[in-house]
Amino acid sequence: MTPSSGASSEPWFEELAVVRGRVDARLESVDRVLAVMSGKGGVGKTAVATNLALALAGRGLRVGLLDADLNSPTVAKVLGLRGRPVRLQGDELLPQAGPADLRVQSMDFFLQGSQPLAWDGAEGEGAHLRSALEDAALADLLAQTRWDELDWLLLDLPPGADRLTAAGRLTSRMDAALAVTIPTEVSLLAVERSMRRAQEARIPLLGLIENMGSVVCPRCGHEHGLFREAGAEALAEDTGTPLLARIPFDARLAAAADAGRPFLGEGASEAADSPAAAAFAKLGERVASWRPGGDRP
């Protein structure tokens, strides 16, 4: 996106085909692109995305992680990267070096403190362009970041049933998606809408993750049921999507995220051997072997 040089104050946008060409060219050195989505906030999607990235990196894979939530980015906070300045080399953006050699890019690095993004302008003049502005900014983060060679690039998408398809318009390299839910009727309904949208757009669903269905006792280490409303099995069956993992809630995982400490791998928290950590490691093992066009894990 570049500003218009004419009399109009409206921004000028590239044709979608040009945008896709720029993004696709940048991602030529990336083996697999995986979006992590939910359709609903509050299900722990960023925890899944960051810990899956760490689990893959722990298997010796080269992993990039893009926080695609431009308005409320949290990946930098979870990984202890907040406050780092934007890295530039010429006209290229460089990702930040995260734990386990993760390559991380986020709008958080462009913002000061808790500064919000203002898409609409001081007088609200850009309100009708908000969606296009967001798409252009996300395309720039993808296309201008020098990812170099990666085995995996994970996109942590914001909530919303349309977020995966919106990102999918920007590149032909949307290889697959993971859906994250908690076992409540409200969450399952919202996440199913996102999964149906992915199927309509012919974006392969790699699997469904049930998060926080149980809780780990901090004293005895045993798991106990947390929700009694519903399970993810029926949604997995109805959508023809494998239920790849059940991640128990562990308060130590939340504490590690708040402190910016990795939950897995070198420098991990004291809960590295917990059921939650074991579930993430198993998820990484199942995802690591998948390739576009291959059988789902």
Q: Is there a domain that residue 252 lies in?
A: yes
Q: Where are the beta strands (DSSP E) in 237-286?
A: 243-249
The residue segments making up the domain with residue 58 are: 31-288
Q: Is there a domain that residue 264 lies in?
A: yes
Mean pLDDT, rounded, of the chain = 88
Cβ neighbours, 10 Å, residue 41: 15
Based on the number of CB atoms within 10 Å of its own CB, is 142 exposed (0-12), middle (13-18) or buried (19 or more)?
buried
For residues 97 and 103, the answer to whether their CB atoms sit within 8 Å is yes
pTM metric for this prediction: 0.90
Per-residue pLDDT reduced to its tens digit, 66-122: 999 998 999 999 999 999 999 999 999 999 999 999 999 999 999 877 777 776 666
Q: Is there a domain that residue 7 lies in?
A: no
| Strand 30-37 versus strand 176-181 pairing type | parallel
Per-residue pLDDT reduced to its tens digit, 14-66: 788 999 999 999 999 999 999 999 988 999 999 999 999 999 999 999 999 99
Instruction: DSSP letter for 118, please.
Output: -
Count how many domains the chain has. Answer: 1
Q: Is there a domain that residue 17 lies in?
A: no
User: Structure tokens of 86?
Assistant: 């934007």
Task: Give the span between the Cα atoms of 251 and 142, in whole angstroms.
Answer: 33
Q: Is there a domain that residue 263 lies in?
A: yes
Query: Mean pLDDT across the stretch 215-229?
Result: 73
Residue 272 pLDDT greater than 80, yes or no? no
Q: Is there a domain that residue 293 lies in?
A: no
CATH value at residue 74: 3.40.50.300
Q: Is there a domain that residue 12 lies in?
A: no
Q: Is there a domain that residue 45 lies in?
A: yes
